[in-house]
Amino acid sequence: MGSPSDRIPLVQVRDLLHVGEPLPFRILDTHERLLLNAGQLLLDERQLDDLHERGAWAERPLVEAARQAQAAAAKKSQTAAALSVFDRWERLMHHFDQVPRALQRREAQGSAVTTFFTALQALVDRDPDVALFECMRQEERRFALYPFRHAVRVAALSLLTARQLGWTPQRCTSLGCAALTMNLSMLDLQAILAAQDTAPTRKQMEQIRAHPEASVAMLQAAGVDDETWLATVRGHHEQLGGTGYPHGHEPSPEARVLRAADVYMAKVSAREKRPAMTPQMATRQLFQQSAGDELAMAMIRTVGVHPPGSLVRLHSGEVGVVIRRASTGPHPIVATLSDKNGKPVGETHRRDSSHADFSIEGAAENAAAFPRIPPERVYGLMAG
């Protein structure tokens, strides 16, 4: 057994421990048994409380090394540029998979989802148009990431729609957490289906139809008792008139918003068997399929006909990407990507599409000529 002087209780190193970040050292119990290894994530505050109750501690040499590393990092950050808002989006997208995986393994509580949603909400609040740009510009083709990035994008779009509807913060949180966990029980199947160039098999269809209730059961096992959250996950494939699944019930307002956002984001996402649909076409289809559903219409008003991230052709002949929704009216701000002949160029200009010379004539036909659009190019440098 190590000397008591070499043991530092967690309460004394709380400043080195951060929810959602890797541990800088390993944590042991009173019998020197390993509880968490260095590099593992702290998922929520409850996990920290549980460790304190078990008398958890860290080894002094490792704590001292962590403090030295923290001091060096702080000194470096004073001279390094701050993370941009785009860096923060990429980090958020990259790290989300750890939350549902921990829930699946019963290593985390539902509060880990709420913590993540709080971080997502802050980023959406930082710039809602950038949030939509990040949702629409889906340039990665790694289908293994699809279930996680889709969930984050649907949560962001659902949040913005709920705000459009004037819903309370608690209602927004319940909806956002439901979006993040709606497919908790079929994450691996989602990735397989995205990469699959054939229709789902009978066995896959059975899992698809069962996933709302299966996901609710997993959330309840993780301690989630928010009835709105659970009901939204359970009903996100139900439809007005009782034509959906798994029960053929009338969906709640939250479930209707979630379904609209889920369907919309699925349409603008590429699959192995089909390319991504343009946001303009996805909006048109949603309008046609949801006529009379005021909640789906609220989502359409949220994104607009040409949402940030969509490629458009201007009256000037230029091709550009929408970067800002109009404060009033249907005419967004566009950043050009081409010359007047539609040929890609490195120079970028901002165009107000309310001006006749730069009015939007439609979606860009040659989107393949602009495979990647660094957000810094069209928005400029934006501190996080």
The pLDDT assigned to 201 comes to 94
Token pair recorded at residue 369: 């000529």
Local confidence band at 202 (pLDDT 50, 70, 90 cut-offs): very high
Task: Report the mean per-residue pLDDT for the chain.
Answer: 89
Find the mean pLDDT for residues 100-111.
Answer: 92
The pLDDT assigned to 14 comes to 85
CA dist 223 and 10 (Å) reads: 25
What are the pLDDT digits (tens) for 111-146? 999 999 999 999 999 999 999 999 998 776 678 889
- Taking CA atoms, 89 is separated from 82, 83, 122, 139, 183, in Å, by 14, 10, 11, 14, 21
Please list the residues that pair with 271 across neighbouring strands.
274
Q: In the chain, what are the domains? A: 4-79 (no CATH), 85-303 (1.10.3210.10), 311-379 (no CATH)
Q: Phi/psi at 144 (nearest 5 deg)?
A: -65, -25
The pLDDT assigned to 80 comes to 46
**Which is more confidently placed, 208 or 294?**
208
Place of tokens 């998922």: 43
The pLDDT assigned to 77 comes to 60
Token pair recorded at residue 310: 């969509």
Please list the residues that pair with 276 across neighbouring strands.
none
Query: Is 244's pLDDT higher than 70?
Result: yes
What are the pLDDT digits (tens) for 250-286? 899 999 999 999 999 999 988 888 888 888 899 888 8
The pLDDT assigned to 140 comes to 67
Entry pTM: 0.78
The pLDDT assigned to 20 comes to 78
Q: Which residues contact 195 (CB under 8 A, 6 or more apart)?
A: 143, 144, 271, 272
Amino acid identity, residue 228? T
Local confidence band at 175 (pLDDT 50, 70, 90 cut-offs): very high
Percent of all residues in the chain with a pLDDT value above 70, rounded to a whole number? 96
Please list the residues that pair with 324 across neighbouring strands.
333
CA dist 361 and 312 (Å) reads: 7
Find the mean pLDDT for residues 319-338.
Answer: 91
Find the mean pLDDT for residues 359-382.
Answer: 87
CA–chain centroid gap for 162, Å, is: 16
Q: Answer yes or no: are the C-beta atoms of 161 and 257 closer than 8 Å.
A: yes
Query: Is 162's pLDDT higher than 60?
Result: yes
Assign residue 241 a region: left if phi > 0, alpha if psi is -120 to 50, beta otherwise? left
